Amino acid sequence: MKPNFTEKSEQKIQEALSHYPTRQAALLPVFWIAQEQFGWISQEVMELIAARLDLSPAHVYGVATFYTMLYKKPVGEYHLQVCRTLPCALMGSDSIIGHLKKRLGIEDGETTEDKKFTLTTVECLASCGTGPAMMVNEKYYEGLTAEKVDQILEKLK
């Protein structure tokens, strides 16, 4: 079945469209609305967005693939995005990433079999003074240690 926007999403889209003089400018807001509703941006969702905003599917695809926070494949219930850029690396992010891989039994970019956790290494979260840092869904966890990571995983289980 082809995806469709819910009434709630449609209201948000109308609101977003009112902020800009062109429909195309509402593309990023509509991506966020779509990701909130569907969990990720599939090709069918891209086609839905293209039709809604009078854009070509190719344009929508080109934009979606440019931005790392728009998921082009499904992610687990908890998406662990661990910063690996220099300030976090100076504070030991490499070992945090290694610890997470071991604990979850997955590699970077993979999802656990029970679809609970996805692990992704990302570039700079602007949490440099409190590194190593990771984002779980939309919440920041900072000053990570192996013990702290274990506690976070335990809470999320």
Q: Which spans of this chain sit near another protein (rule: CB under 8 A)?
A: 19, 21-22, 24-29, 31-32, 53, 55, 59, 62-63, 66-70, 84-87, 89-91, 122-131, 135, 138-140
Give the CB-side neighbour count of residue 123, counting CA atoms within 13 A.
Answer: 2
Between residues 8 and 67, which has the closer beta carbon with respect to another protein? 67
- The distance of closest approach from Cβ of residue 104 to another protein in the complex, given in angstroms and rounded to an integer, is 21
Q: Name the token pair of 48.
A: 């839905």
Between residues 90 and 114, which has the closer beta carbon with respect to another protein? 90
> Residue 103: which residues within 8 A CB-CB, separation 6 or more?
149, 150, 153
Give the C-alpha separation, 48 to 66, whole Å. 18
- The distance of closest approach from Cβ of residue 92 to another protein in the complex, given in angstroms and rounded to an integer, is 9
- The distance of closest approach from Cβ of residue 157 to another protein in the complex, given in angstroms and rounded to an integer, is 22
Helices (H), 65-157: 86-90, 93-104, 146-156
- The distance of closest approach from Cβ of residue 124 to another protein in the complex, given in angstroms and rounded to an integer, is 5
